[in-house]
């Protein structure tokens, strides 16, 4: 289900990436928005979280440990296999599904209290981003939140990335009834001085 262009460079580097991704904690990567992650339990039911472009499942695993029932959508088989091995036994359902259309999730009619797109959106070109927001937005439940990070800086060799502005994402979300709740910037977790990140959280009203 992968988009060969947007996932270029990941399959061959999966072993190295697994070690890299898992070397930093969810709580550190998302420290600026931890207070905006919804409570995992509501009305006695487990909250539902979706991690799109889940990689090796670091974020999915952390959300499962917090009490969410997690769906992890990862189109690169090699990364998905690492995630299933590393985080076996947690409440994570793994899917082979890919942006921009998320065919399986769109067809399912599911919705989630929390949707995460960590270091994913900038792999899509402008047309794909428009299609992707149309696919992602309906997956956010009423009062649910979409957390998204955007990478800015040199594009690693063999990867496909675009410099996407936070304003573009905010405007695209508004078209689909997702309102800005949080916007901030931070430096790179791996101390790359030429890389920085935009952090956004959008929310669907009740």
Any domain includes 90: yes
Q: How many domains does the chain have?
A: 1
Which pLDDT score, from 0 to 100, does residue 42 have? 66
Does residue 41 lie in a domain region?
yes
What integer pLDDT is reported at residue 191 of this predicted model? 82
In a domain, 5, yes or no: no
Does residue 8 fall inside a structural domain?
no
| One pLDDT digit (tens) per residue for the chain, 206 residues | 445 554 444 555 555 655 666 778 999 999 999 999 988 876 656 799 999 999 999 999 999 999 999 999 999 888 899 899 999 999 999 999 999 999 999 999 999 999 999 999 999 999 999 999 999 999 999 999 999 999 999 988 888 999 999 999 999 999 999 999 999 999 988 788 899 999 999 999 98
Domain-embedded: residue 4: no
Domain for residue 2, yes or no?
no
* Residue 89, in any domain of the structure: yes
Q: Is position 7 within any domain? A: no
pLDDT of amino acid 8? 43
* Cα 134–chain centre separation: 15
What range defines the domain where residue 64 resides? 14-203
| C-alpha triplet 176, 151, 76: angle, nearest 5° | 80
| CATH number for the domain harbouring residue 192 | 3.40.50.150
**Residue 176: CA count within 13 A, CB half-sphere:** 21
d(CA 38, CA 140) in angstroms, rounded, equals: 12
């Amino acid at each position: 289900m992968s988009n060969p262009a947007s996932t270029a460079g990941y399959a061959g580097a999966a072993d190295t990436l697994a070690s890299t991704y898992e070397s930093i904690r969810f709580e550190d990567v998302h420290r600026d928005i931890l207070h905006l992650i919804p409570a995992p339990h509501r009305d006695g039911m487990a909250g539902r979280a979706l991690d799109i472009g889940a990689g090796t499942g670091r974020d999915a695993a952390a959300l499962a440990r917090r009490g969410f029932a997690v769906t992890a959508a990862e189109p690169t088989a090699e990364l998905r296999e690492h995630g299933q091995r590393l985080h076996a036994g947690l409440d994570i359902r793994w899917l082979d599904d890919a942006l921009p259309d998320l065919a399986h999730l769109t067809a399912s009619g599911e919705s989630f209290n929390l949707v995460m797109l960590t270091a994913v959106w900038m792999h899509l070109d402008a047309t794909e981003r428009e299609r992707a927001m149309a696919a992602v937005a309906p997956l956010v439940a009423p009062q649910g939140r979409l957390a998204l990070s955007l990478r800015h800086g040199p594009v690693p060799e063999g990867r496909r990335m675009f410099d996407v502005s936070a304003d573009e994402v905010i405007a695209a979300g508004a078209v689909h009834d997702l309102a800005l709740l949080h916007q901030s910037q931070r430096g790179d977790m791996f101390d790359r001085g030429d890389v920085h990140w935009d952090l956004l959280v959008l929310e669907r009203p009740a």
